[in-house]
């Protein structure tokens, strides 16, 4: 696989996402300068799966330590942050240390927040090992953990010094997690790349089989979309909100099921279908585009079922979403595949109708949503 370097702008200075480069990790990190010690933050499950590959790529000296924690979404809370910070302290990490986050979105979010807050900030490198982390969560500097009241409510913007991705790190990824990550790939296509959406429709079966050539081109293409958006809007004050297509619904589904039912991408898949239907409900999104979004999301495989809760309960959960302003719900919707923007004048009744009908429509949908035409 050809190595691809994609530049990301941030307030702390530019950094690179280097795709296909786990074998060159040591030289890439050496280019960042000297560090007093290196601290790898990962999970037991991830380290068993890819630890040897990462160690070979990093060629670490004796000046390093390994810090492991449970990377379940339900463990993504302030208690874990404290546990990891104390582990770093006991290992002698100082302000000139480097933290390398090896894992998926939960590891990246926790390690990133720890790096941002430990000694008021130490250097951070991401080595994402899930598809969702390689194409989305490791890029852009958003870190954080959950509260019982909602997802990612405590955190910081803290850009890494470097991100190293490689399809080889996905070989041991469980099938459910891989399919979950493809939801974020579909999201990028919906909001910014109509030709890629058509490509996904044509080749999704090959991609689901983890064809290395297909992933070798798909991952950098998605990284470029994320990099372009976050470089223009690092602090999510405008454009970056389009990356949350489907996420207002997804975060509510995750929160109301206590982060135990869905992989994040599975909730996003449900959320994208609901967002497409909401776009149609307010006469924004064409039925043809809704049908294509729903059909492609369904081809990812079976999803955990929609929870047995009322639409009103889900609307209440949405009120804790970070995008809400003064109690007004905000949704990222797509006027057409390849474009998206944020809307904040959507009647709650329209949202409740979509929340009521989405699980029923999706459960009975065939190859197209004839009910919408």
Q: How far is CA 23 from CA 26, 56, 135, in A?
A: 8, 7, 19
Burial class (CB in 10 A: 0-12, 13-18, 19+), 285: buried
Answer for the pair 239, 229: CB distance below 8 angstroms, yes or no: yes
Active-site hit among 151, 161, 247, 330? 247
Neighbours of 365 (CB within 10 A): 17
- 262 φ, ψ (degrees, to nearest 5): -110, 140
Active-site hit among 39, 221, 244, 266? 244
Active-site hit among 2, 62, 120, 325? 120
Whether residue 251 lies in the annotated active site: yes
Q: How far is CA 126 from CA 67, 116, 174, 323, 363, in A?
A: 15, 13, 20, 26, 38
Active-site hit among 251, 292, 323, 330? 251
Residue holding tokens 């404290």? 82
Distance, CA of 238 to CA of 342 (rounded, Å): 8
Active-site hit among 39, 67, 126, 142? 142
Answer for the pair 222, 188: CB distance below 8 angstroms, yes or no: yes
Active-site hit among 187, 188, 221, 240? 240
Q: How far is CA 44 from CA 11, 41, 66, 90, 213, in A?
A: 33, 10, 10, 19, 29
Query: Quick one: how far is CA 118 from the chain centroid?
Result: 23
Whether residue 236 lies in the annotated active site: yes
Whether residue 226 lies in the annotated active site: yes
Active-site hit among 179, 264, 286, 292? 264
Whether residue 373 lies in the annotated active site: no
Whether residue 184 lies in the annotated active site: yes
Whether residue 258 lies in the annotated active site: no
Residue holding tokens 């790939």? 185
Whether residue 244 lies in the annotated active site: yes
- Residue 354's H or E segment, with its range, is helix 348-364
Q: Is 246 left (phi over 0), alpha (psi -120 to 50) or beta?
A: left
Active-site hit among 226, 292, 323, 330? 226
Neighbours of 18 (CB within 10 A): 21
Whether residue 241 lies in the annotated active site: no
Among 63, 67, 126, 62, CA closest to 96 = 63
Whether residue 352 lies in the annotated active site: no
Active-site hit among 184, 234, 241, 266? 184
Catalytic residue positions, numbered: 120, 142, 184, 226, 236, 240, 244, 247, 251, 264
């Amino acid at each position: 696989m050809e190595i691809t370097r994609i530049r990301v702008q941030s307030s702390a200075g530019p950094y690179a996402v280097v795709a296909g480069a786990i074998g060159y990790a040591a030289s890439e990190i050496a280019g960042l300068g000297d560090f007093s010690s290196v601290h790898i933050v990962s999970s037991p499950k991830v380290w068993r799966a890819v630890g040897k590959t990462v160690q070979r790529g990093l060629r670490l000296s004796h000046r390093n330590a390994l810090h492991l924690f449970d990377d379940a979404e339900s463990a993504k809370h302030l208690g874990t942050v404290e546990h990891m910070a104390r582990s770093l302290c006991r290992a002698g990490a100082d302000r000139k240390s480097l933290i390398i986050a090896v894992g998926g979105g939960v590891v990246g979010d926790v390690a990133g927040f720890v790096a941002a807050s430990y000694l008021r900030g130490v250097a951070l490198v991401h080595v994402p090992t899930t598809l969702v982390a390689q194409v989305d969560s490791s890029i852009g500097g958003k870190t954080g953990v959950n509260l019982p009241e909602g997802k990612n409510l405590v955190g910081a913007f803290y850009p890494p010094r470097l991100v190293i991705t490689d399809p080889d790190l996905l070989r041991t990824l469980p099938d459910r997690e891989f399919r979950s990550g493809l939801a974020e790939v579909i999201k990028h296509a919906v909001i910014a790349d109509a030709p890629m959406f058509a490509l996904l429709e044509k080749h999704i079966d090959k991609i689901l089989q983890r064809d290395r050539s297909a992933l070798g081109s798909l991952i950098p293409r998605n990284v470029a979309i994320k990099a372009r958006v976050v470089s223009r809007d690092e602090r999510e004050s405008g454009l970056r909100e389009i990356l949350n297509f489907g996420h207002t619904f997804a975060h509510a589904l995750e929160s109301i099921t206590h982060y135990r039912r869905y992989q994040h991408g599975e909730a996003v898949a449900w959320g994208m279908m609901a967002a497409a239907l909401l776009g149609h409900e307010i006469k924004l999104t064409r039925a043809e585009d809704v049908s294509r979004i729903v059909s492609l999301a369904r081809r990812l495989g079976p999803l955990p079922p929609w929870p047995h809760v009322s639409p009103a309960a889900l609307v209440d959960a949405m009120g804790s979403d970070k995008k809400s302003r003064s109690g007004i719900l905000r949704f990222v919707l797509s006027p057409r595949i390849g474009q998206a923007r944020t809307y904040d004048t959507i009647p709650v009744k329209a949202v409740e109708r979509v929340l009521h009908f989405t699980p029923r429509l999706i459960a009975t949908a065939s190859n197209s949503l004839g009910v919408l035409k």
